[in-house]
Amino acid sequence: MLESIPFNHTKPDDAYQIMSRKLKEQHVQLVFHTLNIPFIQSVDELHQKQAELTRKYSVPPKLVICLGDPAWLFCKPIFDGAWKDVPSIICYARDLIFENVEHIVQKDSACPDNLLPTKEMIKKYNATCVMQPLYSKENIELLLQLQPKMKRIAYVFDNRYISSLSYENLKIAVKKYYPKLQLLPITTPQYSVDQLVDSLTSFDETTGVLYYSWFVNREICENKYLLDNMRKISSTFSHVPIFTMISPDEDKDDFAGGYFISEADLSRSLADIAMRILHGTRADQIPVQSGGQPHAYLNYEQLVKHGISKNLFPKDAIYSSVPLNFWQEYRLWIIMSLVIFVLFCIILFMRVRMYIQERNAAKAKRLADLDRDEMNRKLQMILHAGHFIIWKCDLSNNSIEINFHYSSQEDGSEGSNDILNERDKEKHIFMSCKEVMDCIHPDNREEASHVMNGLREEKLKSMTLELRFKWNGSYRWIEAFATPGELNEDGSIKYLVGGSSVIDRRKEMEAQIREKVRLEENNRLKSAFLANMSHEIRTPLNAIVGFSNLIAQANDTEENQQFLEIIEQNNDYLLEMVNNLLDFSKIEADQLEFIYSDFNLSDLMSTLNRTFSRRVPEDVKLIMKIPDKPLIIHSERYRISQILTNFLSNACKFTTQGSITFGYEIEDSTILFYVTDTGEGIDSKFMPHVFERFAKDDDFGQGGGIGLSISHKIAEELGGEIGAESEKDKGSRFWLRIPKDVPFDDTPL
């Protein structure tokens, strides 16, 4: 960043700070350099400084930002050489510019004949401009609005060429738009600093003062103090406000303002263009543009100080140094007062609310006491009516306090050694937990101990338990309930509270109801069984009688043979039905016989295979799967055969196509028998009842519904287990698992 001249203000600092923040994010270093062009006395000195700049920055920079036209003209020869094609931005640019910096050093006149358009000058270079136009017409209009009596404009500027250009611009605007206004130029070296101050002091409201710049070499200035404090002194001694053509320093309020582009807007525009270039856009591809939107910027304090009426202030201007209004000045005190008032109201509300709550609490307490007394009275009536025994178990010393006040006790037999009998006339008795446990029936003692431990260890919140308790020499049914009472400081339970009531009569009624239900169910099952059996027995008998008559009448031997097979099948079914009835009767009388012997399982399975190969439907294949080596076991051959016969019979009934597979598998210590079919299967809702007595999935299907029930009973007697899996319309699998007592026999079949 190259600065043309070392002004005593912060314009370059503003641009430098904004650019520094932006470039820091891109990890690019920003270097600031002042060229001091007005102090260069000769062309040789100019060339020497250009060479020094080239040597100092021998590595071409990524971007050169020139603050002012002279800075770019200074670097123009370097852009033709060492910094060839390095992008550059001319900030604060004007419409016209010298052809080279030598004209500035030689103090050539800045008349239009010696200047060239800036846009034409930069066409051959990788450069663009951020323009800072001078709004002469708008500034004159602003002065006339604030100083209606103004007849003359005093324009303060120095002898630099850019200052001269601004004066020419103002002169053209006055001549074109306001020819009646006089234009008084106040410039160096015609005016010294002292003369400038004297002139400002003499101006009245008929003169509008417009300031551009006042640069004087310190070495030739006769009053260093006036130079250093030029702006403040000018504003102090002038009777009229001093306006400016360009943005003043933001941290100083010596001027009344003007119409221009603000320094902040200009710096932001510069930063945006610089970022575009650093991200790859060529500078010469970025159009020359204005540094922002111009506005009227006015210093409220300076205008009031110099007697400008507030009625003349333009409404669309942007004001600085505006005095605080009542709210802004006393906002903190107002807020604090409101906070204190709100706190006071809250405290008052809380006090009133507390008073009301205390009064309501006292009223509620009185009502609660009345309700509690009424509740106690009702509770005592309930306890008396229910003959409850109230007790409290102290867990610290394992003692139980029993209150018989509400119970109507019956006297026990004389001479009984029961503990309760010795104390039954007392309203309160104390017993140890061990004594109470000893009075509980042995069958209920373990459950009672488990529940009490659960309450003690806080695993249970409450308990209700029915048990038999030794009462005056005999066991009585009682219903006990308990819940934790008060807690210790460590959170453990201090005691349990509970009650008990005698439920002998309820138990008797429950037993009677259960017996009644059982008898009714048995009667229903027997009726259903008889009806079913009458049908099941009649069906094979009708077949036997009917086909026997047909045999007597038929002459065809092959046809007779078919009739004989049908008669034989119905005989087998009838025999199976009668055997099941006999076994069912024996099971009911607990007289079912079991004869254990050693036998070969493979022989048993082969016999079943031969028997059922004639009974399977025509489109069903019977498959037997047994181990290659025989197995001799010690068990009940007939009963195992009976179970497998029931399994196979059911499979033949309900399988019309596919296959029926049966066999056995040897497990570690058991033998698994199974029958699998591809029949119609069993509904999942009926599966839990498949081994119950008289259970039938299809009421119209063949069978009495007792075969699987008998099989289940036989399996239990054999020390094994029985089960089934089925899926509707896909088939079923019934299995039997019994212990294996004898190992493999290696004798071949």
What pLDDT, in 10s, does the model give residues 398-444?
888 888 777 764 433 333 333 344 444 456 788 888 888 888 888 88
Tell me the helices (H) and strands (E) count for the chain, helix number first.
21, 28
What pLDDT, in 10s, does the model give residues 446-496?
888 888 888 878 777 888 888 888 877 888 888 888 888 888 888 788 888
Residue 119, CB half-sphere, CA atoms under 13 Å: how many?
8
Q: Which residues contact 668 (CB under 8 A, 6 or more apart)?
A: none
CA distance 346 to 472: 69
How far is C-alpha 307 from the geometric centre of its chain's CA atoms? 65
Q: Which residues of the chain have pLDDT under 50?
A: 8-11, 220-228, 409-425, 699-700, 704, 742-749
Q: Which residues contact 35 (CB under 8 A, 6 or more apart)?
A: 2, 3, 4, 5, 49, 53, 70, 71, 74
Q: In whole numbers, what is the pLDDT of the chain averaged over residues?
A: 82
Topology (CATH level 3) of domain 511-588:
Helix Hairpins (1.10.287)
How far is C-alpha 732 from the geometric centre of its chain's CA atoms? 49
- What ranges do the domains of the chain cover? 2-131, 136-260+294-320, 324-385, 387-502, 511-588, 597-739
Question: Whole-prediction pTM value?
Answer: 0.47
Burial degree of 31 (CB within 10 A; 0-12, 13-18, 19+): exposed
Angle (CA) 486-492-493 rounded to 5° is 40
CA distance 649 to 554: 31
How many Cβ atoms from other residues are within 10 Å of residue 246's Cβ?
19
- Both tokens of 92, joined, read 């604060």
For residue 520, the model assigns a pLDDT of: 83
Top-tier CATH class for 597-739: alpha beta
For residue 690, the model assigns a pLDDT of: 84
Amino acid at the residue 689: H
With the C-alpha atoms ordered 362, 363, 367, 368, is the resulting torsion angle positive or negative?
Answer: negative
For residue 309, the model assigns a pLDDT of: 92
Q: Which residues contact 217 (CB under 8 A, 6 or more apart)?
A: 38, 39
Beta-strand pair 182-187/152-157: parallel
Please give the sequence-ordered ranges of beta strands (E in DSSP) within 683-745, or none if there are none: 721-727, 731-739
SS3 402: strand
For residue 664, the model assigns a pLDDT of: 94
Angle (CA) 655-656-661 rounded to 5° is 45
Structure letter (DSSP) for residue 4: S
Kind plus residue range of the DSSP H or E element containing 444: helix 442-456
Amino acid at the residue 471: W
- Both tokens of 714, joined, read 């036989």
**One CATH from 3.40.50.2300, 1.10.10.60, 1.10.10.10, 3.40.50.360 for 136-260+294-320:** 3.40.50.2300
Which of 745, 495, 494, 738 lies closest to 637, judged by CA?
738
Which of 633, 734, 640, 728 lies closest to 681, judged by CA?
728
For residue 343, the model assigns a pLDDT of: 94
- Both tokens of 24, joined, read 């820091």
Q: What is the CATH number of domain 387-502?
A: 3.30.450.20
Contact between 167 and 174 (Cβ < 8 Å): no
CA distance 70 to 74: 6
- Both tokens of 56, joined, read 């100092």
What pLDDT, in 10s, does the model give residues 334-343?
999 999 999 9
